[in-house]
Amino acid sequence: MGPINNIKSATGKGVEDVVVKATASSEDMPRGPACLIEEGLDPCSLIIFGASGDLTARKIVPALFCLFVYGVLPPRTLILGCARSPMDDDSFRARMEAVVSSRPHYHPDKWAEFREMLFYQPIEYGSLDSLKAMEARLRRLEGRGHKRGRLLYLAIPPSIYRTSVEAIGKVGLAKPEGEHILWTRIVIEKPFGRDLESAIELDGLLHKFFREEQIFRIDHYLAKETVQNILMFRFANAIFEPIWNRQYIDQVAIFAMESGGVEHRAGYYEEAGVLRDMFQNHMMQLLALTAMEPPARFEADRVRDEKVKVYRELRPFPLEDLGSHLVLGQYTRAAVEGKEVPGYREEPGVAPDSLTPTYAKMKVFVDNWRWQGVPFYLTSGKRLAKKVTEIVVQFHRIPHTVFREVIGEEIAPNRLTLGIYPEEKITMTFQTKRPGARVCLRAVTMDFHYNEGYTGPVLESYEKVLLDCMLGDQMLFWRQDGVELAWAFLTPVLEECETCADRAQRLKFYRAGSWGPELPELREPPPAISSQ
């Protein structure tokens, strides 16, 4: 029975002695826009609510500009930013250029063309008169004679979803099609509620005005190329799927470690904590992609059907013995790379006695035929030693070693690592003989880097998300039944953690820049792999 802190990420040192490169032929690699889209896009108007905010400047507009540079933004694209901040078109364009000009794809000539697509309209989110004025201007900008789609992007705090969606619906912006409108879709960012009850309430509000096929619930983790590649890796290769089960796999570890602190998100994070921020969405999605059954066809609802089955089959947490399945932590002040960084309780906007967890390690089980008895270890936290996201699959140890007389009993198990960030790669470790007269084993890593041999454009997550929204492809977006099942699994845990009398004692502190708190033992042996 090993300690939970023995779970290590395969990015660590000393695991492999030899790296065997697995490369893809450049002849097999698609190039240019042909790899980005298979069909033309409808002309589109993008209406960004919250256009003066951080998300629009850091993610949405830079992503749209990259799509424009790649030549895949729809013809006659119109981008109308809306927010409470008083700005006009020129000041909005200047504000966006200040951010985009620092990015690798920036080119003054391209920006001169792109900026003519940008417009700005001040609004009050809950005001019908304000949204009617915005819709009237939108119609003038769109003109007549060309049918187009409309994409409504809510880059706003969840606290104003209700008033915004109500106003959008009442002024008629939610209509799926119209005189010159081909389609209307709405995009919302996580969190989708803060528990099961609020998630159902939010869904009821959205469906008051929108159909399910109009609603795009973003989880940007799903738009990462290497996350999508999990399905290709599993279901397009005959050598892996037959051993992707309890007979061959001992345990699975999923890591989403962050080196940054709470930074400017303290107001949100104090309410959310790591479980709401990372586990209800990102970690549940990575778990589902790893554990799901193969869909009959690679279609949005078929894939999402199989992910939903995983959520239905999650074993409920033993609330009477929560400590054996869940560890929560919070970072403290420490020197990181020679610079002193504050503890979580010292961050601006955080209560000095806050019990909000910034780290969690969770052991879950999927109770079905394929995975019965196989523990999945999910780990995520802030202010850790390195930003790394990966899935590590550890296979069973060999049942009998014929080498025990010469090298002893212990032979490390085979390990498959799906690297998502910072290295997008797939590695497989196995045992071979060291050259020489003696019988000695060495661990060898077969290593494939995802972008090696590819020379075309690579979409970042928000670029892929926006492209799929315009295409109407919901493959990489949450469906409401999945949202509710994920919350149904986590809500009892959240209620127990937030209301128990010994809440303060359950919180384990760890130094900023470390790999997390010193952890107690779990009842199942953790993987012998490390992020250190």
What are the residue numbers of the active site?
Answer: 282
The tokens for 313 are 């089959």
3 state DSSP class of 351: coil
Residues 6+ apart with CB under 8 A from 363: 324, 325, 326, 375, 376, 377, 378, 522, 524
The tokens for 515 are 């790999």
3 state DSSP class of 285: helix
Closest CA to 79 of 39, 121, 112, 40: 121
The tokens for 105 are 């794809």
Fill in the amino acid letter for 186.
I
Residues 6+ apart with CB under 8 A from 286: 221, 227, 254, 256, 378, 391
Using alpha carbons only, give the angle 237, 303, 37 rounded to the nearest 5 degrees.
80
Beta-carbon count within 10 A of 113 CB: 11
- Which strand (E) or helix (H) includes residue 509? strand 507-511
- Look up residue 478 and give its DSSP letter: B
H helices within 101-160, ranges in order?
108-114, 128-142
- Which strand (E) or helix (H) includes residue 206? helix 196-207
Buried b (16+ CB within 10 A) or exposed e, 451-475: eeebeebebbbbbbbbbbbbbbebb
